[in-house]
Amino acid sequence: MSTSEPYRTLTTRGWIFFTTLWILAAASLYNGAALARCQTAEAIPAAAQISAGTPQNDGLWWKHAVIYEIYPRSFQDSDGDGIGDLNGITERLDYLQSLGVDAVWLSPIYPSPQVDFGYDISDYENVDPQYGTLADFDKLVAEAKKRDIRIIMDMVMNHTSDKHKWFVESEASKSNPKRDWYVWRDAKGVGANGKPLPPNNWISVFGGSAWEYDPKTKQFYYHKFYKQQPDLNWRNPAVENAMFDSVRFWLDRNVAGFRLDAIPTLFEDPQMRDEPATGGINAQSDPNLSDIYTNNLPQVHDVMRRLRAVTDKYPGNRVLIGETYLPNVQDLDKWYGGAQRNELQLPMDMQVGFTNKLDASLFRQRINDAQTQINGNQPLFVFDNHDNVRSWDRYGDGVHDEAIARLLATVLFTSRAATLMYYGEELGMVTTTPTRKQDVKDPIGITGWPKEKGRDGERTPMQWDDSKNAGFSTAATTWLPVAENYHTTNVKTEEGNPDSLLNWHKKLIAMRRSDTTLRDGKQVMLDETNPFVLSYARESVGENPAIIVALNFTGEPRTITLDPSTAGITGKTVSTLITDAPSLRQVSSLQHMTLPPYASWVGSVK
The answer to which of 17-21, 372-376, 447-451 has the lowest mean pLDDT is 17-21
Coil vs helix vs strand at 22 = coil
125 flagged as catalytic = no
Query: Which sequence spans correspond to the domains of the chain?
Result: 4-160+237-508, 165-222, 522-605
Q: Which pLDDT score is estimated for 15?
A: 34
Checking if the pLDDT of 558 tops 70, the result is yes
Is the sign of the CA dihedral 56, 59, 63, 69 positive or negative?
positive
Q: What is the mean pLDDT of residues 298-314?
A: 98
Q: What is the mean pLDDT of residues 38-42?
A: 36
All residues at 6 or more sequence positions from 217 whose CB lies less than 8 Å from its CB, including other chains = 171, 173, 174, 184
Could you say which of 102, 116, 261, 387 is catalytic? 261
Q: What confidence tens digit (pLDDT) does each residue in 465-486 have?
A: 999 999 999 999 999 999 999 9
Residue 24 near residue 225, CB atoms below 8 Å = no
323 flagged as catalytic = yes
Q: Whole-angstrom Cα distance, residue 274 to residue 294? A: 10
Q: What confidence tens digit (pLDDT) does each residue in 572-603 have?
A: 899 999 999 999 999 999 999 999 999 999 99
Q: Whole-angstrom Cα distance, residue 393 to residue 378? A: 28
pTM for this model (two decimals) = 0.91
Judge: domain 522-605, CATH 2.60.40.10. Answer: no
Q: Which pLDDT score is estimated for 209?
A: 98
Q: Which pLDDT score is estimated for 572?
A: 83
Checking if the pLDDT of 52 tops 90, the result is no
Return the CATH number of the domain spanning residue range 165-222.
Answer: 3.90.400.10
Coil vs helix vs strand at 397 = coil
Q: Which pLDDT score is estimated for 504?
A: 98
- The confidence band for 113, taking pLDDT boundaries of 50, 70 and 90, is very high
Could you say which of 323, 343, 369, 425 is catalytic? 323
Task: Quote the mean pLDDT of the chain.
Answer: 91
State the chain's maximal CA–CA distance in angstroms. Answer: 82
Checking if the pLDDT of 31 tops 70, the result is no
Checking if the pLDDT of 196 tops 70, the result is yes
Q: Which pLDDT score is estimated for 34?
A: 34
4-160+237-508 topology per CATH = TIM Barrel (3.20.20)
Q: What is the mean pLDDT of residues 380-389?
A: 98
Q: Whole-angstrom Cα distance, residue 284 to residue 207? A: 5
